[in-house]
Every structure is written in structure tokens, then in C-alpha cells.
Structure 1
């Protein structure tokens, strides 16, 4: 692919026989400037504990046979609109911290477990997902469900550590890199989805789980829109953003200043000085965290390590400087996401 409040003023005049006097009264300050409550204690996230708790509960669900069976999952992975009624965005501009507060409970971890040759359950991959409908409908990238191990099965967890089985795969598209699935949960808070395009230069925020750092919030702007013809000859549409994310962020919602989903994190392109001007789009998949034994880099190549014992008497050679110049963040545009989820109420 191709790399891939304004304050008003009221004036009152009183006319006297000889002189006139003008009195100006400033309008009250906006409500958000009058906040006096003490800041609340933030939620501290223990990444190791969250990771362990998620996979322990996922394994329990797998042993109990409560996760959608692998063969049924694969059979249901067919392209088509999910026909889910999504929520329309509001028209109130939110502060960045309020965007986070409104969205964070609607962001989930989606991950998998699979049995090894001895029948023991191993932790598989994980990525990011978000709520599209209150009755357990979540959205992530299609590639999260690709390249699966035999009998690999999935579940999802919210920020409070509640883990739910994936029970159905209900739509999406491989080219658009969108997957819509259902978990056994009710009463969730769906994120609104924008029907239009976020303007280039407009603010965006991303909540995701990069590199075992759960519920990380980054901010940036929309940098451009681009297209690419993939290896199947199909056209992909992308939105670029400057907000940071990395492996584990696949499917993360990209949010506007109205708190609406305007895109979904999908991949990164590394611009390297050693590319000799070649388009770096050959290194595009994937942002889900790779399975055990693989590198956590986006190109999934295993790290080569020297296991020989080191002689303390011999100094280590000076490491070469990195040739990495820039990492471009590629996002599925919100309009494309909406197309494959369904309709708006």
C-alpha cells in the first residue's frame, strides 16, 4: 500500500444633563472556568495485575467452554455490514480531559487464549476494542482475528477487570480492516460515531493499550487522508494522525473534540533513513500484540539475541545509532467504520 467563549460585554449608558457616564459589565465567566471542586484521586492502573487478571479469567472461560468456539468464529468471519444502530455525536465541544472521562469505560481489551500440544492454555494476542451498542456490540480491527492458532478463542475486558466471552462475529470487512463482534454483556455505554470526516488539522485523542500499558491516552491532530491499492487489487482508505499508539492499540477509537469516534487505529509505517526513498508501506501489519515468541515490533520479526555469556573484561562495542526517522500513524476513517457497523439512529 501507499504509506500506509468568547466573553460578551453588556454596556449600559446613563445620560445626564451635562455629561454621560458609561458603565460596562462583563458577562459571567464560562461554567468550566468556575470549577472549584478538589481534583479527584485518579485511577491508578497496575498493568501486570490487569494483564494477569484478564488472562486468568479468559482461561477459566475457555475451560468452561463459554467462549465462541474457534471453528464457529472462523465460519462467521464474512464481510458485510453489521446492521447495528449507532449513536449520533452531540454538538458540545469537550475539554480533552472530558473526552477521556466520557469514553474510557467504553474502551475494552480484546484478547485470546489457545491450547498448546499438551492441552494447557496459553495467552494469545490482545488488542483494543470499543462499544458500538449497549447490548454488547464491540468494534476492533479485522486483522485481530487473523492468523489464529488452532482452537484459539476470544474474550474482552473492561477497565474494571470484568471479562466477557466473545459470543458472535456479526460483520465488518477485511479490506477496510473493521470487525464487529458481540460479547455477553448488557447495559454498556456506546461511543457516538461521526458520519463525516474529521478536518485535517483538527484535534483527536486515542485511548488504547500499547505495549502492555493499558488505557493510555494520547492526543494529536489529523495529518492527512490517503488511499492505497493492496495486494488483492482493492483500494484502502486511510486517515493519518499524530497521536501516539503502538502494538496493542489495534482497534482503538480515535476521538474528536465532541467525544465521537472519527477513526480507528490500525497500523503504523516506519520511515527509516535506510529505506533509500522506498515506500515503507511493506511493513504495515499489525498493532495487535504478537503471540508468544514473536517480537513486539509491527513487522513481527523475531528479535535476534546473543545468548553467549559476556566477558566483563571486554567492553561492549558502541551501539550504532538508530536510523528511524518517523513513525506515521494510519487510521481507518470514521466514515468507513460507520459504513460497516450499520446505520445511525
Structure 2
């Protein structure tokens, strides 16, 4: 039985962002308006303002709700029953890159998945966050099933690195056992990331990278290696495949891409599994290591009928 800690941020995140070149977002009346870019371009010194990102996610996401451009979370949860979808995936054309080159190329395709809600202390919209990334130019975004399957929010939106806040309109495909969901967003999306077609794209010992939003630390890059591939039995008896990596991540990283040095998605962040020296009355003592469990690309491809 797998014991793990879900990485979906369940509380209001620390806020975010940068004052950079303008792009478009959704205005008060639901129309597109100018927006500040949240993440600098490759030519600029990279610096992220977490507070501005979270503020923008809440404000512009709230405007989408107020102008009836979003899909209620109850409807999205019902759509999690859809098992497969047809997509055109990008072809793999990349060559090996340095870590800095990889980050510069990939970060634009990583999005913030925002769950919007109101507290009982004010009338403002708030957001908790997770990670996702674009997998098709038609607006398909991949994240975890558990990111969607929670009724403690009104709806979901996706925010790009350039600050465009897009409504999640539909769940295209999902699988609870392998903890995956493909979402459809409305609006122009960044370039999609290629998905590795075989385990040979990331053998044990090879370098991997993660770009995610741990606890609202937006667009964090970490690196490590593939430590093993493993099969595990869930509580319902289903056997699932995992890839274990040493690159760090935490809550809020759910749905983040795990990449090889060519920028191919070899997996997606799922959970952490702490290992303690001993357990006393259900509490762990002397944390020794944290296993990082991810969903391999082969499982992602099971949800997709390629066109």
C-alpha cells in the first residue's frame, strides 16, 4: 500500500510577480486587456514576484467567474469520468540542453492551476494553486486528478507565465488510479511540451529537472536524477507504475513536468513519501529521506488517442 503526501496546495498561497512587457488578460467586463508579464523573457534577468502572481490569479480569475466564463467545479468533477481524448501532440525535435537553456525554453509552457474560492472573512476571491503544463496547441493542459477532484473551490483557471488567466472549460480525460487529468482551457496557450514515448528517454541515473510552484514559490527549478522505476499496489488493488526521482518538490508542485535534458516530459509530479527512522504512535521520528514519486510518460499516453 502506498503512503504518500498529496502536493496540492490546500491553503491560500503566498502572493506573486514581475513588472515586464505587456500581454493580454481578461478585463472587468470579460474582455481582453493589457497584462503585465509575470516571468521575464530569456533576455532579462530572471526574478519572480510571488505576491503579484497570486494577486493576479485571484483578481483575474474572479473576474472570469463574475462574467460567467468559467465552468463550475461540480461539472468539472463529473467530467473526470471521461477516460480518453483525441489530441495532436507536438513532435520531438529538441537536442540536449544545459539546465539554464532548458529552463528558458520550457518555463513558458508551465502554468499555474488556480482553484478559486471565497473565505468567510471578506468578499474577495482567493486562490490555492498547483502546477500544470501545456501538451497540445489546442489548449490541452495536463495536471493531476487530485488537483481537480476537490469541492473546496468554485472553479479552476490556468495562468501562464505571461500573466494570461484562462478559464478551464472542460475535463478532456482523466484517470484516478494514475492521478492524471487533461484540461481544456479557452484562449491562446504557450507552445506545448513534447511527451517522451518510451522509458529509454530517461534511464535510471539520467538527469531530470522539475519546474513547479512549491508552496507558492512560482517557477522554481530543481534538478536531480531518475533513481528507479517501480510498481505499486493501491488500496483498491490497482497496480500502477511510478518513476522515482531525486529532484526536489513540495505541495503546490502537483502536476509539474519532469523533464529530461532534451526538454521531453518523462513524467509528472505526483506525491512525496517521507521515510522516518521509526514510527511511534503513528508519528514519525528522525526523518531520513523523502521519496519523490512521479507518474511516467507511458501512463500519460494511455489517456490520449493521438491524431
TM-score (norm 1): 0.72
Q: Alignment partner for residue 208 of structure 1, among 205, 208, 212?
A: 212
Closer, same or farther: CA 167–117 of 1 in aligned 2, 3 Å: same
Partner of 1:339: 302
Is residue 142–residue 174 contact of structure 1 (8 Å, CA) maintained in 2?
yes
Which blocks of at least 5 consecutive residues in structure 2 are unaligned?
5-41
Partner of 2:31: none
- Secondary structure in structure 1 of the residue aligned to 2:278: helix
Is residue 171–residue 179 contact of structure 1 (8 Å, CA) maintained in 2?
yes
Closer, same or farther: CA 91–107 of 1 in aligned 2, 3 Å: closer
5 Å-filtered alignment, 1:87-102, equals 87-90=90-93, 92-102=95-105
Is residue 157–residue 163 contact of structure 1 (8 Å, CA) maintained in 2?
yes
Partner of 2:188: 186
Is residue 142–residue 172 contact of structure 1 (8 Å, CA) maintained in 2?
yes
Partner of 1:225: 229
Q: Displacement of 1:341 after TM fit?
A: 3.2
Partner of 1:324: 287
Q: Alignment partner for residue 78 of structure 1, among 81, 86, 102?
A: 81
Closer, same or farther: CA 121–171 of 1 in aligned 2, 3 Å: farther
Alpha-carbon deviations, 1:75-105, whole Å to 9, x = none? Answer: 2111412221212322521122111111110
Closer, same or farther: CA 71–275 of 1 in aligned 2, 3 Å: same
Distance across 2 between alignment mates of 1:231 and 1:153: 29
**Which is worse superposed, 161-170 or 41-50?**
41-50
Closer, same or farther: CA 187–155 of 1 in aligned 2, 3 Å: closer
Distance across 2 between alignment mates of 1:187 and 1:212: 22
Is residue 172–residue 341 contact of structure 1 (8 Å, CA) maintained in 2?
no
Asked whether 1:140 is paired with 2:143, we answer: yes
5 Å-filtered alignment, 1:245-284, equals 245-275=249-279
Distance across 2 between alignment mates of 1:90 and 1:153: 36
- Secondary structure in structure 2 of the residue aligned to 1:58: helix
Partner of 2:160: 158
More strand by proportion, 1 or 2?
A: 2
- Secondary structure in structure 2 of the residue aligned to 1:271: strand
Closer, same or farther: CA 106–243 of 1 in aligned 2, 3 Å: same
Which blocks of at least 5 consecutive residues in structure 1 are unaligned?
5-38, 281-321
Partner of 1:41: 44
Q: How many residues align?
A: 266
- Secondary structure in structure 2 of the residue aligned to 1:188: coil
TM-score (norm 2): 0.81
Partner of 2:25: none
